[in-house]
Amino acid sequence: MPLNSSNEQVPARVRKISWSGSAATGRRPGSTHGGLRWESVPWAARRSHLGRRGLAIGIDIGGTKVAAGVVDPSGRVIEEARRSTPGNDARAVEQVIVELVQELGRSHRIASVGIGAAGWMDLDGGTVLFSPHLAWRNEPLRENLQSLLRRPVLVTNDADAAAWAEWRFGAGLGESRLVCITLGTGIGGAMVMDGRVERGRFGVAGEFGHQIVVPGGHRCECGNRGCWEQYASGNALGREARELALRNSPVAYELLKAAGGSAENITGLP
Ligand SMILES: [Zn+2]
């Protein structure tokens, strides 16, 4: 399927207008996207949800850093702040988020907070089911953060948030469908299909980084072996460089020198 459809194939943008169908199943007859109904709206008529609710803080929780930004209704980042991710302590990650919101909230009136988390979310968006790189296991992150921040909080997968942002404001502007790959500690992935993030039946669709590309290969943090992110992520880059340095490979001479002569100092991350 071509990512870049011809003009005739590009539908107008869509927005959520109501729930319909069975509350028990969350689906309407004939829908493959759950119980949401959508209508087409022309570009010019689209209004930003942010615009009606003032400034928001967007927070990206990755495997190595927590990055936060104050965002205006046009998607512009007004101010940024960041911290290192305390990777093995879920409470410490929440505390870092609180600190960032307090820091940015000093000079801006913040109405709501959006979280992009490097983890697999349930369909409801309240619980992080699992994170390969962080300490979350069935973590009720939205509830925890709403009580700590005393503001409306939206939590979603980090790659889903990135895909949505690219569709709304960036590389996907004007397209009806896009695939987004995020490269960092691991590899994240997400799809926007006809104006919505396609999350699949269980909420974890588009995890391209955990497709097996080398059967029986390196063990992945997700539990499987040979996932793509074991061969092409920041972590993978660091591992390969360390292995080359330890073997005293000529291709790693310069790298080893830059790392102070110790292979363990090579991380593959900025
Ligand atoms: Zn994996």
pLDDT (tens digit per residue) in 47-84 = 444 445 689 999 999 888 999 999 998 889 999 999 99
Beta bridge partners of 66: 61, 83
Q: Which helix (H) or strand (E) holds 50?
A: helix 49-53
pTM equals: 0.71
Q: What is the pLDDT of residue 80?
A: 97
Poorest-pLDDT segment among 80-84, 111-115, 198-202: 198-202
Q: How far is the CA of 79 from the centre of ligand 1 (A)?
A: 34
Give the distance (Å) from ligand 1 centre to CA of residue 187.
9
What is the spatial distance between Cα 234 and Cα 230, in angstroms, rounded to a whole number? 9
| 205 alpha carbon – ligand 1 mean position (Å) | 14
pLDDT for residue 146 is more than 90? yes
Q: Is pLDDT of 46 > 80?
A: no
For residue 119, how far is its CA from the centre of ligand 1 (angstroms)? 12
Instruction: For residue 9, count other CB atoms closer than 10 A to its CB.
Output: 10
Output phi, psi for 155, to 5 deg: -120, 135
- Do residues 40 and 15 lie in contact, with contact meaning Cβ atoms separated by under 8 Å? no
| Residue 57, token pair as written in the block | 């803080």
Euclidean distance between CA atoms 8 and 162, whole angstroms: 27
Ligand 1: centre distance to CA 200 (Å): 18
Output the CA 8–ligand 1 centroid distance in Å.
Answer: 38
Ligand 1 centre to CA of 41 (Å) is 38
Centroid of ligand 1 to alpha carbon of 259 (angstroms) = 28
Residue 270 has pLDDT above 50, yes or no: yes
> At 23, is the pLDDT very low, low, confident or very high (cuts 50, 70, 90)?
very low
Look-up of token digits 């709304």? 168
Q: How far is the CA of 236 from the centre of ligand 1 (A)?
A: 12
Distance 237 CA to ligand 1 centre (A): 16
pLDDT attached to residue 52:
55
CA–CA separation, 151 and 56 (whole Å): 10
CB 243 within 8 A of CB 229: no
Lowest mean pLDDT among 44-48, 161-165, 239-243: 44-48
